């Protein structure tokens, strides 16, 4: 209101009348969606209000109101409303190929946010309780060309949310998949998420949840850990040693000040050689020293040297941690020497899964764009084989196959119990144990694990 008054004072009665007319004539309301168009005066007010936010992020209300969408959906809704077209559709989310040529599988994540969004839509936006949703479970392994999500309902009830739905699952699944690849090659070694500093702070909870669900042991972001009900982990930054002016005083202070439950993991590549600083950490922290972290240099060579120096001094108990630009390939190379890994940018900024949400049925009639299989579909997996069948919806497959798409919303009501991140993580770890060697490989193996059976 203050912004509008300010603009009117500058532009006089003409702008005031324009604002009134615009409010009446060029706002096109469709349920809870508002499209504001054309008027420069109104557009300026909108932009000026937006710039008052300190940080660039989309809040929960903007997602729920449908504003976190693409403009062409709003235009589509305007056309549909004008022509009174309101049809039931089936839409399915799938990916035609992985973003990395070496991927053998993906890990589905982000579905809980989709459920939260669509349950809100069913209760507050939809004109009828006819929304039905099926999805793979959080942490389920998936392959290209098979549906991971199926939504049935009136297009005008949920179509505007396609952008948000795809964003939820594409981003989280990309991170979870990258995390699982590191988890596999690390075997039983510790793996921590150190990557939220490389992305916008607003997405820290998404990153940390996907990493933890993907098998990581802990995360470093305080807010990300809090969202999961976990405690954040960490070692010490180079800043600590630089501010003290030497490593010895920093090690002593760290050991003296922090509570006993905080592991004493010394960062040993600030001033001297990692070997010198490791021996210094031994002297300063004594039996409290839990581990040392190396963040730079030839990690394999340094790790072997440190392991030798610690062992000959009777400190086989001190663990070695590596960090600094790590990915699954580096983890595999270093796993013989190091006891734990801090993985940052490469997992937090993992390539997103390029999911698409496509109409496959309109008013009960199979209909899809060129290149897509029409009709609603179910997905079945041969138990412990990770070989899948895609079949027309309702076609029951037995003989050792289990369904992968489970109904989560029925007639607008959530029917699936909420799953915690620990549930998703356990599902991931359980699948890892059963994965055949060709799927565990860091490099692409030949063979299609999805077949269509009509």
- What are the chain's domains? 2-77 (no CATH), 86-175+351-452 (3.20.140.10)
Cα distance between residue 195 and residue 172, in whole Å:
14
Going by their DSSP bridges, the two strands 319-323 and 289-294 should be labelled as parallel
pLDDT in tens, 218-263: 999 999 999 999 999 999 999 999 999 999 999 999 999 999 999 9
Which residues of the chain have a pLDDT value below 50?
1-49
Partners of 132 in beta bridges:
152
Note the pLDDT of residue 127: 82
Alpha helix segments (H runs only) across 317-382: 328-334, 345-348
pTM for the full predicted model: 0.88
Residues 6+ apart with CB under 8 A from 96: 144, 145, 354, 356
Cα distance between residue 52 and residue 54, in whole Å:
6
Note the pLDDT of residue 126: 86
Note the pLDDT of residue 248: 98
Note the pLDDT of residue 24: 31
Question: H or E stretch including 443?
Answer: none
Identify the CA nearest to 358 among candidates 124, 205, 51, 147: 147
* Contact of 152 with 92, CB cutoff 8 Å: no
pLDDT in tens, 271-296: 989 999 999 999 999 999 999 999 99
SS3 35: strand
Cα distance between residue 101 and residue 119, in whole Å:
36
Phi-psi region of 364 (alpha: psi -120 to 50; beta: other; left: phi over 0): left
* Contact of 212 with 244, CB cutoff 8 Å: no
């Amino acid at each position: 209101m203050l912004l509008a008054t300010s603009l009117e004072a500058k532009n006089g009665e003409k702008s005031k009348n324009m604002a009134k007319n615009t409010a009446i004539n060029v706002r096109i309301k469709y349920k809870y969606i508002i499209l504001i168009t054309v008027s420069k005066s109104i557009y300026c007010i909108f932009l000026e209000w937006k710039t008052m936010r300190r940080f660039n992020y989309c809040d929960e209300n903007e997602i729920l109101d449908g504003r976190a969408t693409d403009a062409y959906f709003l235009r589509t809704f305007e056309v549909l409303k004008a022509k009174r077209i309101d049809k039931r559709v089936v839409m399915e989310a799938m990916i035609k190929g992985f973003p990395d040529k070496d991927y053998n599988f993906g890990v589905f994540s982000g579905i809980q946010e989709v459920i939260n969004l669509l349950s809100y839509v069913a209760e507050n936006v939809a004109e009828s309780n006819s929304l039905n949703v099926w999805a793979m479970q959080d942490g389920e392994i998936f392959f290209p060309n098979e549906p991971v999500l199926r939504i049935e309902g009136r297009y005008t009830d949920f179509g505007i949310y396609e952008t948000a739905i795809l964003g939820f699952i594409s981003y989280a699944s990309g991170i979870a998949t990258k995390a699982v690849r590191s988890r596999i090659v690390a075997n039983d070694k510790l793996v921590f998420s150190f990557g939220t500093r490389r992305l916008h702070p607003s997405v820290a909870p998404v990153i940390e949840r996907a990493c933890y669900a993907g098998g990581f042991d802990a995360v470093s972001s305080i807010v990300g850990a809090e969202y999961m009900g976990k405690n954040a982990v960490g070692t010490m930054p180079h800043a600590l040693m630089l501010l003290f002016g030497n490593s010895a005083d920093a090690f002593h202070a760290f050991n003296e000040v922090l509570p006993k439950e905080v592991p004493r993991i010394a960062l040993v590549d600030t001033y001297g050689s990692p070997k010198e600083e490791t021996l210094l950490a031994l002297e300063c922290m004594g039996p409290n020293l839990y581990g040392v972290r190396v963040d730079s240099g030839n990690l394999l060579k340094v790790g072997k040297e440190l392991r030798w120096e610690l062992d000959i001094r009777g400190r086989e108990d001190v663990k070695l941690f590596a960090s600094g630009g790590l990915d699954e390939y580096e983890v595999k190379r270093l796993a013989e020497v190091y006891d734990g890994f801090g993985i940052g940018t490469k997992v937090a900024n993992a390539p997103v899964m390029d999911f698409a949400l496509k109409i496959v049925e309109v008013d009960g009639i199979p209909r899809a764009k060129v290149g897509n299989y029409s009709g609603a579909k179910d997905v079945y997996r041969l138990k412990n084989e990770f070989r899948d069948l895609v079949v027309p919806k309702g076609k029951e497959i037995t003989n050792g196959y289990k369904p992968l798409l489970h109904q989560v919303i029925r007639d607008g009501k959530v029917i699936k119990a909420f799953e915690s991140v620990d549930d998703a993580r356990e599902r991931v770890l359980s699948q890892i144990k059963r994965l055949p060697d060709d799927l565990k490989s860091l490099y692409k193996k030949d063979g299609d694990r999805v077949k269509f059976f009509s």
